[in-house]
Structure 1
Amino acid sequence: MSRLPVIVGFGGYNPAGRSSFHHGFRRVVQESLDSHARQETLAGLAVMMRLVQVIDGRHCTPDGTPLSLAEIEAQHAEAILAGTMVRRIDKRHLDVDAAHWQKNLTVSHAQFTTTRKQLPEPLPANWSIEPLDDLQVRVTLHDSCDFKVDSYRALPVKSAGQLPSGFEPGELYNSRFHPRGLQMAIVGATDALRSTGLPWAHILDHVQPDEVAVFSGSIMSQLDENGFGGMLQARLKGGRVTAKQCPLGLNTMPADFINAYVLGSVGSTGSVTGACATFLYNLQKAIEQITSGQARVALVGNSEAPLTQECIDGYGAMGALATEEGLRKIEGRDDVDFRRASRPFGDNCGFTLSESAQFVVLMDDALALQLGADIHGAATDVFINADGFKKSISAPGPGNYLTLAKAVAAAMQLVGEDGVRQRSFVHAHGSSTPANRVSESELLDRVAAAFAIDDWPITAAKAFVGHSLASASADQVISALGTFRYGLLPGLKTIDRVADDVHQQHLSLETRDRQMGPLDVCFINSKGFGGNNASGVLLAPHVVERMLRKRHGEAAFGAWQAKREQTRATAQAYDQQALLGQFEIIYNFGHDLIDDQELQIDEQEIRIPGFNQPLRYRKDERYRDML
């Protein structure tokens, strides 16, 4: 009997803000919320963005005057909305109007003065040197020589999904020399763990040391100056490579940081890379580990910080990104609204890069009931298929038809035909490229027809938070959990209407938020360059509870509900502190190190210092019939 992977916590940070307790989702649908929920989320963002101070647990102006939630909304809502989600790129990332580069300059038959230590080695044959003093020399060029000179240019791409303005994850803990993606991984994983309402040590006491799994990474590695970017640029800029840039640049480092500094885990770990479907690839690994019993708890997520000039140049050179000129042509005016740069299934011209760190905490159903964990849904399946032979590595292919059809068929076996046909929705990849709006809408429409689904509700998280590459499908999953919680399906509010070439005979796409009836299942669809296709099945909490009641019986179910009250109270206490800017980042550098000389090893088990339970060797009968 397979164990059910239930979602007991989720969190992180993306352009909509903090994800735990659905605050990022609430930012997206803020105009459709009741006043208290809207004002609470806006106040939390105001604190993150340093628009409001917190003094003695109260929101205040800089001079200490207390502010109510309604006053915060009245005074700062405009700045909060303008400083979140997709928007013009902030200068904290780079100046898109004056991006630095080096221009080649050829100089002939010239003289200049420099210091001896700045002379190149070896000296070019067409240079002659005249000493001026102990330090200075005069150089004469007898022919031509190429120099690189600082220059600045405007980038054609000027929009991106960015963390809320004023919020710097590296300032929340001792992050010296950490690339931004790893800073985001630390704070994002902390948010997800805190959201469970269960102390990590308490969880560890109930599992063996190797029954923990972490799957996390970033497809672009860490490309800022503290990672691979600095390593590759150092010598070209006349500097030196540091000892940290190479190791901290690895794309697996988010998982490594979480194990070493957040969880102290000795369990399974890794990072599966699948282009823009990477989160679902890692989620599949976690599902496999939990359903098979190899792991009982798993932290899955990705952290991506691609807002560098190099990434923008790279994707821009492919013609994949929305440019200022392209948006100007779409809108038919010179004044571009960069907040509407990401336009899934509408008239569009390319996708919009984004930064995001998103994580979910999974447990098997028995452990969740034993601990009284809150349950936000279940991740039952992820299907992955390639495209076969391809003419263009970036072009779509048949693989996504296979993944989505298998996901729908699997869900029908769990929630029934009516559950899928009447109470399901899709979080589409929705990359905002002209090719995607046609190919993915045709895919969705054909699969809907094959399974007799009419008016299939479709939404796309990239309309609000942009395309965060490895974290993109995690943005979709956490948004889907918000829909389960509030019954609101975000509209595609960055477009005026669905494009004429979008297939929608069996689909339902809206530009406004929709209040839905009870929804049983969400399909997470993701497509990646190179033929990396993945579709996931996400079950709603009420469906999961029905399954748990049947499997474990009324007595166990009732006991879990009683324990869950304390869990929810603890989780809510964290949420209230985080709304006031107290994020309680977990960063254990050099604490509780394990001396491998103290391991106690025998034929039955391994005792590891600091862990309550031993690691017991598993009985392996996989090949018994062959022995």
Structure 2
Amino acid sequence: MRLPVIVGMGGVNAAGRTSGFQSFRRMVIDVLPEAQRRQTLVGLAVMMGLVAAEADGRFRVVHGIENTDNTDLAEGTVLDASAVAAGFAEVVCAGTLVRRVAPEYFNVDALHWQSNASLSPADTSAGLQFAMPLAQVPEPLPEGWSLDLVGDKEALVTVVGSVNVKLDNQRDFPVKAAGQLPSGFAISELYNSRFQPRGLQMALFGATDALRSVGIEWKEILRHVNPDQVGVYSSSGFGQMDQSGYGGMQQSRMKGDRVTTKALVMGINSMPTDFINAYVLANVGIASSSVAACATFLSNLRIAVADIQAGKVRVAMVGNSEAPIVPELMDGFATMGALATDENMIRTYGDAAVDHRRASRPFGENCGFTMGEASQYFVLMDDALAVELGAPLLGSITDVFIDADGIKKSITAPGPGNHITMAKAAAAVVAVAGEEALRSKSFVLAHGSSTPQNRVTESQIFDQVAAAFEIEDWPVVAVKAYVGHTIAPASGDQLVVALGAFVHGILPGIPTIEAVADDVHQQRLLIGPEHVQRNPEDLEVAILNSKGFGGNNASAVVLSPARTQRMLERRYSAETMAAYYARREISEAAASAYFLAADRGDYAPIYRFGEGMIADEAIVIDKLRVTIDGLPGAIELPTDNPYADMS
């Protein structure tokens, strides 16, 4: 069976850029070596628009720090990397991870809404009278209304009874924390975004970042595969809900505005796939969009892994983009009681004031999850193609398991499905890597949503599986403590951390909690606020777990680069692997050069709008194949009968 190998990753979430492990490093910045800490702070300072890279390797201050007597940080000052890291560390850290919702999203203290009111006349004998433009008089005329014309353009309206109206109003929004992209990072300014929804801008950025992280030109990859052996597996969970997508379409008529021509199309939840196919990869292969609530990433990953294992595709772009920090979505979750409100946090934690930085508290005393936004994309290849091209080796995916919950009395309640997926994942680890790898060299990336129900049910599953497979002190990582719940790409956030842990030997703790809640099952688990540092060689397997609304349970097995490489060495000859290592050095050097350039702000999304469109006359079809002028290789048509024994 072909092994799906991870050769690139890219994207962005509240912790920063995905490629080069920037976002991972931000999560564990307090235990990083000084050089990596400085690199992380400087790269984020550039991303946040605080400084701009100069040609000589130094940085010019774009936004000086207010309320400081340090003139060395004034606007226009040129600094070296050490000075940037020292001077802007506090601002960078404050402007990343979960934090108070910024005004550019919406005003959580004075959110605009329309309140209902009923207007009645003070003198009921005269009726209610008011003037209005004739063009604004509703048709048909409401019951009880009568008109007297005042000139050609105005009417005097008399109403018998009352009039129900909606008044512009403001209210305090109960949820004030979210995992927002780094403050000041504006993707729309990096390319001609054409008023595209935020989620699609993020998809272009994430796919571009992932593609460049491979260190091999896309056209070179295409030379080694047929045009239909490429697949993009992507979606958003809710669609694009801001004003440029479904949000604007749904609100327009209620606000007295017109629906724009693009709102419906741009809002569709498969649009991230379509944008990547059309504007980043120019792909004519598989386009696949799966949606499975919080397990959406793993659902897309399962299909991609299966297609690679079956030989349907040889290279896949897998990921999701979600921009859900909009009042409508957050209002919906808050009404369900799913989000952590300021009032509930004060009541639960006993604090006089709310610490929005600690809004997401997986496996601790908690009162709801925290919304986040993210774009996470990964480039997968079958092992033969990765070896042939000399692609970087970040790890591999052996299995993705998905099971439903069966009968339940609440569609959002948990059930047995996640017990099944986790048990299957643990057994699959034993089958592929052995019992010792599972017992002493594996860790779990928990769904860890920060709700009271999740902390009990998910920890019980982990503890039960650990007992069945004789695991002691099984490390559990909860990424949502740092970036919030990003819905569709949530398990993409997990995968980024898993790959980062393999390289850096750091399992991020849960710094937002002081202690694990009393009702958490942890007899065989290792959960806590502190980071756990291990020798990277002792981290070989990660299990990603997701518990989605409606019974969308999923668990995936991820192998480390070292474990994956040993598997490749068993499959291929020493000569083949030696050639692979030589080619890999070149691609890794190219990838490293991109990471350095990206840290200096060179990461504009690929946006091939209208470039190289395929005309009908460029397509040639015969009985055996389809060839397209300008694309290497051919699309072979099926000729074998897979059901020959039944024909």
The normalised TM-score by structure 2 is 0.95
- Residue of 611, 632, 636 corresponding to 1:616: 636
Q: Letter of the 2:605 partner, please give it.
A: I
Q: Structure 1: which 4+ aligned runs deviate by more than 6 Å?
A: none
The residue that corresponds to 1:589 in the other structure is 609
1:266 partnered with 2:296: no
1:49 partnered with 2:34: no
The residue that corresponds to 2:93 in the other structure is 81
Q: Letter of the 2:88 partner, please give it.
A: H
CA–CA distance in structure 2, aligned partners of residues 478 and 124 of structure 1: 58
* Cα offset, 1:326, TM superposition: 1.2
The residue that corresponds to 1:14 in the other structure is 13
- Secondary structure of the 2:287 match is strand
Alignment of 1:228-377 (within 5 A): 228-377=246-395
- Secondary structure of the 2:572 match is helix
- Residue of 503, 510, 517 corresponding to 1:485: 503
The residue that corresponds to 2:564 in the other structure is 544
- Residue of 192, 202, 220 corresponding to 1:174: 192
CA–CA distance in structure 1, aligned partners of residues 573 and 285 of structure 2: 31
CA–CA distance in structure 2, aligned partners of residues 278 and 75 of structure 1: 40
- Residue of 507, 510, 517 corresponding to 1:499: 517
- Secondary structure of the 2:554 match is strand
Q: Letter of the 2:488 partner, please give it.
A: A
- Secondary structure of the 1:229 match is helix
Contact 1:177 1:244 in 2 (8 A): no
- Secondary structure of the 2:434 match is helix
1:186 partnered with 2:204: yes
- Residue of 123, 136, 153 corresponding to 1:135: 153
The residue that corresponds to 2:132 in the other structure is 114
* Cα offset, 1:72, TM superposition: 1.4
Provide, for residues 61-88 of structure 1, a one-character-per-residue CA deviation record: whole Å limited to 9, x for no partner: 2454321222112211111111111011
- Residue of 74, 80, 93 corresponding to 1:68: 80
The residue that corresponds to 2:59 in the other structure is 59
The residue that corresponds to 1:96 in the other structure is 108
CA–CA distance in structure 2, aligned partners of residues 477 and 290 of structure 1: 18
* Cα offset, 1:133, TM superposition: 3.4
The residue that corresponds to 2:618 in the other structure is 598
Provide, for residues 368-392 of structure 1, a one-character-per-residue CA deviation record: whole Å limited to 9, x for no partner: 0111100100011100000000111
CA–CA distance in structure 2, aligned partners of residues 8 and 211 of structure 1: 16
The residue that corresponds to 1:464 in the other structure is 482
Contact 2:466 2:472 in 1 (8 A): yes
- Secondary structure of the 2:169 match is strand
* Cα offset, 1:142, TM superposition: 2.6
Contact 2:624 2:639 in 1 (8 A): no
> Kindly, what percent of the aligned residue pairs are identical?
53
Contact 2:408 2:415 in 1 (8 A): yes
The residue that corresponds to 2:163 in the other structure is 145
Provide, for residues 525-573 of structure 1, a one-character-per-residue CA deviation record: whole Å limited to 9, x for no partner: 0000111000000000000110111101111111011011111111111
The residue that corresponds to 2:542 in the other structure is 522
- Secondary structure of the 2:611 match is coil
CA–CA distance in structure 1, aligned partners of residues 351 and 7 of structure 2: 47
CA–CA distance in structure 2, aligned partners of residues 608 and 598 of structure 1: 6
CA–CA distance in structure 2, aligned partners of residues 201 and 138 of structure 1: 69
* Cα offset, 1:619, TM superposition: 4.6
Provide, for residues 164-196 of structure 1, a one-character-per-residue CA deviation record: whole Å limited to 9, x for no partner: 111112221111231111111011111111111
* Cα offset, 1:241, TM superposition: 1.0
CA–CA distance in structure 2, aligned partners of residues 329 and 87 of structure 1: 19
Number of aligned pairs? 626
CA–CA distance in structure 1, aligned partners of residues 30 and 195 of structure 2: 40
Q: For structure 2, which runs of at least 5 residues remain unmatched after alignment? A: 63-74, 122-127
* Cα offset, 1:621, TM superposition: 4.4
The residue that corresponds to 2:593 in the other structure is 573
Q: For structure 1, which runs of at least 5 residues remain unmatched after alignment? A: none
The residue that corresponds to 2:179 in the other structure is 161
Q: Letter of the 1:372 partner, please give it.
A: G
Q: Letter of the 2:561 partner, please give it.
A: P
CA–CA distance in structure 2, aligned partners of residues 327 and 28 of structure 1: 23
1:563 partnered with 2:583: yes
Provide, for residues 32-85 of structure 1, a one-character-per-residue CA deviation record: whole Å limited to 9, x for no partner: 101111111111111111111223253122454321222112211111111111
CA–CA distance in structure 1, aligned partners of residues 249 and 148 of structure 2: 35
Q: Letter of the 2:43 partner, please give it.
A: G
The residue that corresponds to 2:472 in the other structure is 454
CA–CA distance in structure 1, aligned partners of residues 48 and 405 of structure 2: 43
- Secondary structure of the 1:368 match is helix
Contact 2:4 2:398 in 1 (8 A): yes
CA–CA distance in structure 2, aligned partners of residues 581 and 132 of structure 1: 62
Provide, for residues 307-353 of structure 1, a one-character-per-residue CA deviation record: whole Å limited to 9, x for no partner: 11110111111111111011112321221100100000000000011
CA–CA distance in structure 1, aligned partners of residues 645 and 461 of structure 2: 44
Contact 2:204 2:606 in 1 (8 A): yes
